[in-house]
Amino acid sequence: MQLCDAGSRKNHVSRSMLKSVLALVVLGLSYVTIGSQPSYAIPAFARKYGLPCSACHIGWPILNVFGQQFRDNGYQLGNEKDSPIYQNPSYWPITFRVTPQWHLESQTKVQIDDPTGNTPGTEQTVTTHGFDLSGLDIWTAGTLYKNISFSVLPSMGEGDTFHFENAWVRFDNLLKSPWLNVKVGKFELDTLLSEKRFLTLSGVGGAWFNYHFLPVGDSNGFGGIGDNQMGLEISGHNKNSYARYSIALLSSVDGNPGLTTTNGGIANPATARTYDTFINLNEGFQVGGLGVQRVGVYGYFGQNPTYYLTSGGVPVEGRGNRSFSRVGAYGWWYLKDLDIETLYMHGQDNVYLGNGIAVNDPAGLPPGAAGPSWNGGFIEAHYTYNPQLIFTGRYELVHMSRQANPTLAALPNLGNVDSFTIGYRWYPIMLSRAGLAFHNEYSQAKTGNTSVLSQSDQTIRSVMIGFDFDY
Amino acid sequence: MGMFVLKWAQKRLALAWSSDGKTTRIGMACLLTLFMTIGSFCRTRDTGAASFSIDLDKPFNEVLAIVDEVAHSGSIKGTFEYRGDEQLSGALFTEKSSLFPAWTEPGKVFYKIRTKALSPSHFLNSNDVGTVAVRYVVQERGPSSTRLFIDAVYIENARHHGHPSDGYVETCEFGEIGKLLKDREQLQALAASGQPLSPEKESTSHSQDRQEEIKAEVEKRTAHNNNPKSAKVADPPKVVEIDSAKLNDLRHAIAEQKSQMATERAALENLEAQARQMRASEYLRVRSERAELKVLPYSHARVVEALRRGQQVTVLAKSTYWYQVRSEDGEEGWISHNLLEVEP
């Protein structure tokens, strides 16, 4: 058995390489977003209870107050309708969701190779477009027994293999109190401003940069609080779900099965041995006739290995774990038909993670190295003209407050993201049997100093026109 | 063309997104938010057929008693939470409600409230959980004329959104009132014919089988009053003890009573029909090229018949926006008042 230095040689990686990596990450993120969009609206529940979709959704998939209460209560209404005798024998709680679409993706200042290979090439805008499909979600959720709920969501992208977007069992109302619920498995973190119930589906609009941001050059394998995670969650709420809390103990695997940890983009199965924590507290309060306003705070405190013990060259245990955190506050403000989500996030990674250096190689840290930190946030508005027509817009930014080393800091905007999205969804069909949304969206993001050749800002754009349906 | 527009939009947005376009970006965001906020507060709210109203040729006290009974019925007709249900149960009577503006005109006001209603049907854009309220206003118009208003609204708990009924709730609530009024009318007619009724039957009932109950009760009472021995007819073992002559007499008496009952019933129905015709003998005609006669007074209700311009209809009842009419073909239904005009 020998120690393996995973990052000691990375401090000399050129800046252009880092930018390319970031560009690839952004594009990859776009692909992942399109390829496996999550689905969090369940016509199967409406079928089960004989309720209209509007009982739980302002507009699919955004939950209204009762919808949040229903979800917090383990997909139970809390009345006699939960009993199996009220269920149609042919009822089967499965929902399919897929989005046939036409979309356009464009990125400025992409390095185009010189066919001769004699020069570094040129920068050009690359645009692709065409008809496409989203990934397929097959979701089943409900109750196994009174106060035991579950969710299983196998998902796959086009030409992809299935993976579990989520799979969990939850023991609800323990000690006959809504304040004590325990969930085990892979699940969405209790983020009230949910990435899983959003209205933006395009490559850029669906990226949610704050929830997935990593600085340039960072080797942290954490994919962000937008990723579903593996672990155990204790949560609770008051009767109307205005006051809520959750504490989760999570494996440091970013939701990947097989105790897989990641460092510097390389995944190593069966190497995890540390845990992360996520805490979320929020409170709702009624303001006159405007609606229920919600405010909350959250924090994710995690660890990630910086190197591995290997056996026969194969990593067998993550070592040199170093910490990172994402903390912030948010609000969800209702002004009658207009609801506005606001989020602030502060992120920081340990200096070893930020520079991609193994802890057992402190000399590898460049002079002046520091743990990178950044601030970000978004403001997102939904205007519900009626439950069949919703307009949406989001402005999001992430700005670095400290780069991992002076070389990176020489570029003032490196890694910064400024993004906005506008769109609308029209639901010609929104029934307990099925939902169909005609989705139109335009989004664009500017990424700071990421072009390889000119080291200037790049802009990526997405246009999406699609039919988002579930059954 | 599409690509041209797209490129144009991209250029404009790229300009806004350039490094010196920060002010433009903020301005765009502010304008968008302002637009949506103003829209949220100022846009026309859901419109529905509000204020069902009808003039009844009944004394005020009689209508008041019936409306009071319906307001205490414990259920709201014409709306439901779960598919398969026919009404909203668990409703409570109240004399005051903040869910409607204060009623400043004359009249007695009642309310029926159902809290924690889950996206109830037949309220426009119904959503979330909230309270359903029905308001009844009974106004005295004359010694035997009473005006009745019925309104129904659903208010969300969280956003306090008001969702007016599409008209179906008011119609069904009035249906219940109408049924009870009819029952009472029948009972009064029978009482006037000299046949005493039990005290409990003098007050009307909520039962859906009310009609059948009344008939059964009347038959039973009639047989009992006119032939006390008839009770024994229903008792097979005792019938055996009666001699055949008496049995024949008894049968004859029953047949006579039945015949009398049938005659009285026919007379009553005839009177009812006449009264109905008299109080609603208003004729209008269709003014638009094509007008749809609907089962219920709301836009999405099933169409009974398509009427053409100039066709005459008989008005049977009126609400604010919808008239219940009978067409020349004898079809009855509801039609928007905008589609009708007075005959020259």
Q: What was the pLDDT predicted at A52?
A: 85
Cα A309 from Cα B324, distance rounded (Å)? 85
Q: Which residue segments constitute the domains of chain A, with CATH numbers given? A: 2-66+86-136+157-162+194-470 (2.40.160)
- pLDDT score, position A279: 98
pLDDT value of residue B225? 47
The shortest C-alpha distance from B336 to chain A (Å) reads 24
What residues of chain A lie within 8 A of the CB of B82, using their CB?
Answer: 49-51, 81
d(CA B335, CA B327) in angstroms, rounded, equals: 10
Q: How far apart are CA B124 and CA A165, in angstroms?
A: 36
* Residue A270 falls in which region: left (phi positive, over 0), alpha (psi -120 to 50) or beta: left
B325 phi and psi angles, rounded to 5 deg? -135, 165
B122 vs A3: which has the higher pLDDT: B122
Contact map slice: B 139-168 vs A, CB within 8 A: 157-161
pLDDT at B27: 60
Summarised one tens digit per residue, pLDDT across range A209-227 is 999 999 999 999 999 999 9
At A446, the pLDDT band (50, 70, 90 cuts) reads: very high
Structure-model confidence comparison of residues B34 and A201, the more confident one: A201
pTM score of the predicted model:
0.73
B96 touching A (Cβ < 8 Å): no
Judge whether residue A194 has pLDDT over 60: yes
Q: What is the pLDDT of residue B21?
A: 57
- Structure ipTM: 0.75
Mean pLDDT in residue range A181-202:
93
Give the C-alpha separation, B232 to B255, whole Å: 16
Chain A partners within 8 Å of B81 (Cβ) = 51, 55
- pLDDT at A451 > cutoff 80: yes
Q: Does B16 touch chain A (CB under 8 A)?
A: no
Q: Tell me: the pLDDT tens digits for B127-136? A: 889 999 999 9
What's the gap in Å between the CA of A387 and the closest CA on chain B? 7
Is the model's pLDDT at A41 over the cut of 70? no
Find the farthest-apart pair of alpha carbons in chain A and give their distance in angstroms, rounded: 75
- Cα distances (Å, whole numbers) of residue A283 to A240, A292, A341: 11, 10, 14
pLDDT tops 60 at residue A66: yes
Give Cα A359 distance to the centre of its chain.
29
| Residues of chain A numbered 33-62 and touching chain B (CB < 8 Å) | 49-52, 54-55, 58
Which whole number is the average pLDDT over A350-356?
96
| The predicted structure's pLDDT at residue B252 | 84
Confidence of residue A17 (pLDDT cuts 50, 70, 90): very low
Q: Which of A32-41, A441-450, B126-135, B140-149 has the lowest mean pLDDT?
A: A32-41
Residue of A66, A79, A465 best to disrupt the B interface, most CBs of B under 10 A? A66
User: What's the gap in Å between the CA of B330 and the closest CA on chain A?
Assistant: 36
pLDDT at A370: 96
- Tell me the one-letter amino acid at B191: A
Q: Write out residues in chain B with pLDDT < 50, as ranges.
A: 19, 43-50, 200-208, 210-211, 214, 218, 221-222, 225-226, 228-240
pLDDT value, residue A158:
66
Count residue pairs from A and B with Cβ separation < 8 A.
102
The pairing of strands A243-251 and A261-263 is unpaired
Give the residue from B11, B99, B119 with the most A CB atoms within 10 Å of its CB, the best one to mutate.
B119
The tokens describing A85, both together, are 């005798």
Q: CB contact, 8 Å: A386 with chain B?
A: yes
B128–A50 C-beta distance less than 8 A: no
Smallest CA–CA distance from B33 into chain A, residue: A381
Check B157 against A65: CB less than 8 A apart: yes
Asked whether the predicted pLDDT for residue A359 surpasses 70, the reply is yes
pLDDT of residue B126: 87
A250-306 tens-digit pLDDT: 999 999 999 999 998 899 999 999 999 999 999 999 888 788 999 999 999 999 999
pLDDT band at A100 (very low <50, low <70, confident <90, very high): very high
pLDDT digits (tens, 9 = 90+) for A314-350: 999 999 999 999 999 999 999 888 999 999 999 999 9
pLDDT value of residue A131: 96
pLDDT band at A7 (very low <50, low <70, confident <90, very high): very low
Interchain CB contact of B121 with A (< 8 Å): yes
Q: How far is A9 from chain B (nearest CA, A)?
A: 35
**Residue B274 CB contacts under 8 Å (≥ 6 apart), including other chains:** none
